[in-house]
Chains A and B, each alone.
Chain A
């Protein structure tokens, strides 16, 4: 078991190195006026030369690569060409906000997706099953950016139930000291006991969180359903039923427990999709996270920032994969 996890960890490290290498060379191969960006829009030739030296662009590519790796190991991702800020600082500011959304989406996926899947499995083949199946498949078929717009139209403009966007209202941010422990506002509020701000933050996360949760909800519901169906057909369940144990009890006690492994794997992986979906919706919800940072960095060809984003997303993915692998490994029905 330990050996297996170590092996997966090493595998993850190799993957990370690969991601770093590939993004590094993709971003360097494309001809681009990096020096011009560093020195500024309307820079003179002299300023440009100064910039080239500052950035070490006069050195051979391999040397640049080695230097990048060295810096990376010491936790230095370089500076953004656009803002001239350290990338690590920018990521530290943007990533927690996105992470918060992804985690909230994860919670929604668990609390809505799993019951939906169970229900659907219980009513297998009946009208209700078809309905929930339709909803769960519908959820993964919606363009997230469009859903975000429609939600704003309905819940802000028409019903005025939820705020339009942002992480908290301006008045709340002035009334309370905004805690900053992890960068995830809701968690920080709970940690520091800022209950007043917590309510405000919670109201703000519902709409973006649910938009992003749609995909995992659909996925989790489908997965739970099929995993449950598979188990419900197995002999020991039939046996349990024939012993006269109530159906509900069979479902919750035996079947669900055994299907959790498969579901958890899908949940973990669907968080990866959630991450991507934040890229599409954060600007719509004025959410100060990685998504807006991605589109800004990509359109301005801010290479150090793009590299930073690639690395942090890859780390996130690798960790998720690792978690999924461990869950599978813990599942006694799978022999390694």
Chain B
């Protein structure tokens, strides 16, 4: 198990090292990486570093509601007198964790289906790919809206809905990988010695498709964060008193533009986070794309 893990990881690590080397040549992408590290640190340490941890869920103070930004409240306060700065920082934690969960869940659905479709071919492949076609011909946002409205609004259901709308993309990637892998010697060898199909899929196909899938997943993070914020904005995601960014903007809309700080800062937080992920994704794509690399 350990040896195998290392076998899988070694080329990945090498790829990673090459990638970092390439990244360092691109200032914009490098900035994105630094921003992402910062965002991650904020997300991890949020409960400790926010100035008013009580304002996340435990305390309201109407006597200080709608205070404009000041040194005590960098981003001002909201309609219940809570510190917007603390809530926006804490929101990082929510957005990142839900996005990771949603992507992970769609990988869990999408990767095995893609691997099976790619290795089996024929009717199984046809059926799976038609199903992905159906899902892909639906605006992902609309599908998520539909599902959440049926399941009932909550952050967990939003994650589930996004996963259900997103998996076909991974199915397609993995299927493509699997088809090319199928022709490789070690898979054919496994087949000839009579290894059961499920074992080939689980032991050989899926582990070998991990790196392109992980790259794709990290590029998708920005889109997923935006979708979650959008769902929450529509009232179909996070529930009060959660300091989720989309939910905050949705509530703040009632007080816009007088209480501009309540709307503006969560929006900037979404923008920076999504931008960092997208810049990274774009940089990675550029590095991986052999055609643009030539230059």
Residues in chain A within 8 A of chain B (CB atoms): 11-12, 14-16, 18-19, 22-23, 26-27, 29-30, 124-125, 130, 133-134, 137-138, 140-146, 149-150, 152-153, 157, 222, 226, 229-230, 233, 272-273, 275-276, 279-280, 284, 294-295, 298-299, 301, 306, 309-310, 313-314, 317-318, 321
With A26-B146, A279-B141 given, is the CB distance from A142 to B289 under 8 Å? no
Alpha-carbon separation in the docked complex, A203 to B30 (Å) = 41
Inter-subunit contact B282/A314 (CB<8 Å): no
Inter-subunit contact B295/A18 (CB<8 Å): no
Alpha-carbon separation in the docked complex, A312 to B24 (Å) = 47
* Segment of B81-89, B105-113, B203-211, B270-278 engaged in the interface with chain A: B270-278
Smallest CB–CB gap between A141 and chain B, Å?
A: 4
B198 within 8 A of A: no
Inter-subunit contact B134/A306 (CB<8 Å): no
In the complex, residue of chain B having the shortest beta-carbon distance to the beta carbon of A144:
B230
Alpha-carbon separation in the docked complex, A157 to B258 (Å) = 11
Inter-subunit contact A226/B292 (CB<8 Å): yes
* Segment of B9-17, B43-51, B58-66, B249-257 engaged in the interface with chain A: B249-257
In the complex, residue of chain B having the shortest beta-carbon distance to the beta carbon of A232:
B295
Provide a sorted-by-A list of 7 A–B residue pairs whose CB atoms are within 8 angstroms: A11-B133, A16-B137, A133-B28, A233-B295, A306-B146, A313-B139, A321-B137
B279 within 8 A of A: yes
B186 within 8 A of A: no
Smallest CB–CB gap between B293 and chain A, Å?
A: 10
Partner of A230, one of B140, B229, B275, B292: B292
Inter-subunit contact A26/B295 (CB<8 Å): no
Inter-subunit contact B260/A153 (CB<8 Å): yes
Inter-subunit contact B222/A294 (CB<8 Å): no
Alpha-carbon separation in the docked complex, A318 to B279 (Å) = 30
* Count of interface residues, chain B, beta-carbon cutoff 8 Å: 48
Alpha-carbon separation in the docked complex, A137 to B137 (Å) = 24
Alpha-carbon separation in the docked complex, A229 to B263 (Å) = 39
Residues from chain A with a CB closer than 8 A to the CB of B260 are 153
Inter-subunit contact B282/A133 (CB<8 Å): yes
Inter-subunit contact A15/B141 (CB<8 Å): no
With A149-B256, A150-B267, A280-B233 given, is the CB distance from A18 to B134 under 8 Å? yes
Partner of B142, one of A233, A276, A284: A276
Alpha-carbon separation in the docked complex, A23 to B142 (Å) = 11
Alpha-carbon separation in the docked complex, A295 to B233 (Å) = 11
Interface centre among B147, B229, B230 (most CB of A within 10 A): B230
Other A-B pairs beyond A146-B271, A310-B138, 8, CB < 8 Å: A143-B270, A144-B230, A149-B253, A226-B289, A279-B141, A294-B142, A313-B142, A314-B138
In the complex, residue of chain A having the shortest beta-carbon distance to the beta carbon of B236:
A298
Inter-subunit contact B292/A229 (CB<8 Å): yes
Partner of A310, one of B146, B282, B294: B146
Alpha-carbon separation in the docked complex, A150 to B261 (Å) = 12
Residues from chain B with a CB closer than 8 A to the CB of A272 are 139
Smallest CB–CB gap between B36 and chain A, Å?
A: 13
B:161-182 near A, CB below 8 Å: none
B104 within 8 A of A: no
Partner of B230, one of A30, A229, A280: A280
Residues from chain A with a CB closer than 8 A to the CB of B28 are 130, 133-134
Partner of B234, one of A23, A280, A321: A280
B131 within 8 A of A: yes
Interface centre among B131, B134, B292 (most CB of A within 10 A): B134
Alpha-carbon separation in the docked complex, A66 to B289 (Å) = 49
Residues from chain B with a CB closer than 8 A to the CB of A301 are 149
Inter-subunit contact A137/B278 (CB<8 Å): yes
Write the B108-128 contact mask toward A (1 if CB under 8 angstroms, else 0).
Answer: 000000000000000000000
Inter-subunit contact B147/A26 (CB<8 Å): yes
Residues from chain B with a CB closer than 8 A to the CB of A222 are 282
Smallest CB–CB gap between B262 and chain A, Å?
A: 11
Alpha-carbon separation in the docked complex, A309 to B145 (Å) = 12
Alpha-carbon separation in the docked complex, A124 to B286 (Å) = 12
Partner of B226, one of A124, A134, A143, A317: A143
Residues from chain A with a CB closer than 8 A to the CB of B137 are 12, 15-16, 19, 314, 317-318, 321
With A149-B263, A321-B137 given, is the CB distance from A141 to B150 under 8 Å? no
Residues from chain B with a CB closer than 8 A to the CB of A298 are 145-146, 149, 236
Residues from chain B with a CB closer than 8 A to the CB of A276 are 139-142
B246 within 8 A of A: yes
With A145-B233, A146-B249, A226-B292 given, is the CB distance from A18 to B130 under 8 Å? yes
Alpha-carbon separation in the docked complex, A22 to B142 (Å) = 13
Partner of A313, one of B138, B278, B282: B138
Alpha-carbon separation in the docked complex, A140 to B236 (Å) = 22
Smallest CB–CB gap between A162 and chain B, Å?
A: 15
In the complex, residue of chain B having the shortest beta-carbon distance to the beta carbon of A143:
B270
B193 within 8 A of A: no
Smallest CB–CB gap between A308 and chain B, Å?
A: 12
With A298-B145, A298-B149 given, is the CB distance from A145 to B230 under 8 Å? yes
Inter-subunit contact A310/B131 (CB<8 Å): no
